[in-house]
Amino acid sequence: MKKILSILLTLVLSLSLLSGCGKETKTTLAQGVDEKTIKVGTIGPTSGPIAIVGVPMLHGMQAYFNMVNDLGGVNGKKIELIAKDDQFKPDLALQKAEELVEKDKVFAIVGQLGTPGCLGTLDYFKEKGIPAVYQGTGVSAFAKAKGNYFPVQPNYTFEGGLLVKYAVDNLKANSIAIIYGNDDAGKEELEGVKAQLKKMGKEDVLKAEVPFNTQDLDFSAHVQKAAEVKPDVTIVVGYQKAVPGILLEAKKQGFKTQFMTSYINADLTMLTLAKDAADGVIVTAWVPDITDPNNQAAKKFIETYKKYFPNETPNAFAAAGWVAAEVFVEGLKRAGNDLSWEGYIKAMETFKDWNDGIAKGITYTKDRRNGVEKMYFMKAVWDEKMPRFEKISDFVGLE
C-alpha cells in the first residue's frame, strides 16, 4: 500500500512539474521566437499603383531591422521580416495574413499598409491576438480595437478636424469645399471636418461635399462641382494618384482656391506627378522634417537607409516604415525575456510620451491607442530643380 501511495505521489509531482514547465513556456515564448530569431510579418501593396507608397515603406522597415541586426539584434535575437504583397486588395490581404500567422508563424504584424487591407484583416488579427504594431492608415477602427492593436499614425477624424480648424483660424476661410474618396478614410475625414465645424459654430462654412470613387481617373465633374461654390479653401482627401489628378484638373479648369490635403500626400510624389499644379498646396505632417539637419533621429534614418538602399532616395513613406520598426523594437526591449504576446502587449502599454525615435509623443495605456495627436503644416513648393515642402507651423493639436 505504501509503495502504491509512493508511486501515486511521484506521478502527481511529475505532472505538477510538467504543468509548471508548460505554463512557463507559454508566458515567456510565443510563436516566431527562438533563441536566435524573432520573425515579423508585414502586408502591403508592393505592386500596382500604390507600390509608390508600399515599396519605400517596406524598405524603411527593412533598413531599421538591418541596422538592429548588425548591432547584435534585440537581446541577442535577430529580426527576420517576412513581407507579403496584397496589391491593395482586402481579400488578398486576409489570405496573406493567414499565411503569416498559420504558416510562417510570425510573432507580430508590423507596418501593415493600406486602409482596405488593414480593415480586411482586423477581425482575424483580433481573434488570433497577435500583436499588430503600426497600421499604415488613419481610420479610427484600430484605436477602438485596443487589445493587441497599436496604431501610430494620426487618425483621419482628428486630421479632418485639424485641417478645417487651420483653414478657419489661420487662413480665415469663409467657404470650404471638400473633395474626398468615398471610402472609409475619406468618410472619416469628412466626419472630422463636420464635427470640428460644429464645435466651432461654423457649420455654414462647408459649402460643398464632393465624393469620388477610389478607382476614378477622370475628376472633371468633381472639380467643376467644387468650383461652383467658389470656396476659399478646398480640402482634398485621397491616395496617390487621385490627389495629383484632381490638382491637374483644377489647373486645367482654371479653378482658383487654396488646396489642402492629408499627410498621406506629404511626399515629393505628389509634386512629381502634379508639378506646378501642386504649388502652394498645404499638407499636414506628423513625422518631423527628415531633411532638418538638427534632427538627429532623422539624420540617422537617412544615413542608414542610404546604406542599405543606396540607389533610392529616402522619403516620407520610407520614414513611416522606419517609425513602424522602431516602435516595434522599443516594445521588444521593454518586454525583455517575456516574449509572449501577453508580455509584449503589456510592455507596449508602458509607452508614455515616447520621444526617442523619429515620431514624437507616443503614448499607450490599457485603454488608450490613439497614436500621434499633434501635427504640423507644410506648403508644397514646385521648383523643377528642387521640389520641396516648407514648414509653415509648429506642432498643433485640436485642444
User: What average pLDDT does the chain have?
Assistant: 92
Q: How remote is the C-alpha of 348 from its chain's centroid?
A: 17
Task: Note the pLDDT of residue 5.
Answer: 41
- Using pLDDT thresholds of 50, 70 and 90, give the confidence band for residue 28: low
Task: Note the pLDDT of residue 12.
Answer: 39
CATH architecture of 37-154+293-348: 3-Layer(aba) Sandwich (3.40)
Percent of the chain clearing pLDDT 90 (strictly above): 83
pLDDT in tens, 293-340: 888 988 999 999 999 999 999 998 999 999 999 999 999 999 999 999
Give Rg (Cα) of the chain: 24
- Using pLDDT thresholds of 50, 70 and 90, give the confidence band for residue 99: very high
The neighbouring-strand residues paired with 209 are 178
Joined together, the cell numbers standing for residue 73 give 539584434
Task: Note the pLDDT of residue 168.
Answer: 98
> Domain 156-285+376-391 falls in which CATH fold?
Rossmann fold (3.40.50)
pLDDT higher than 80, residue 15: no
Burial of residue 344, with CB atoms counted within 10 A of its CB: 0-12 exposed, 13-18 middle, 19 or more buried: buried
Q: Judge contact between 32 and 40, C-beta under 8 A.
A: yes
Please state, in angstroms and as integers, the Cα–Cα distance from residue 8 to each residue in 20, 97, 232, 336, 398, following that order.
18, 47, 85, 39, 68
- Average pLDDT on 148-171 reads 97
Task: Note the pLDDT of residue 7.
Answer: 41
- Segments of the chain assigned to CATH 3.40.50.2300: 37-154+293-348, 156-285+376-391
pLDDT higher than 90, residue 370: no
pLDDT in tens, 223-234: 999 999 999 999
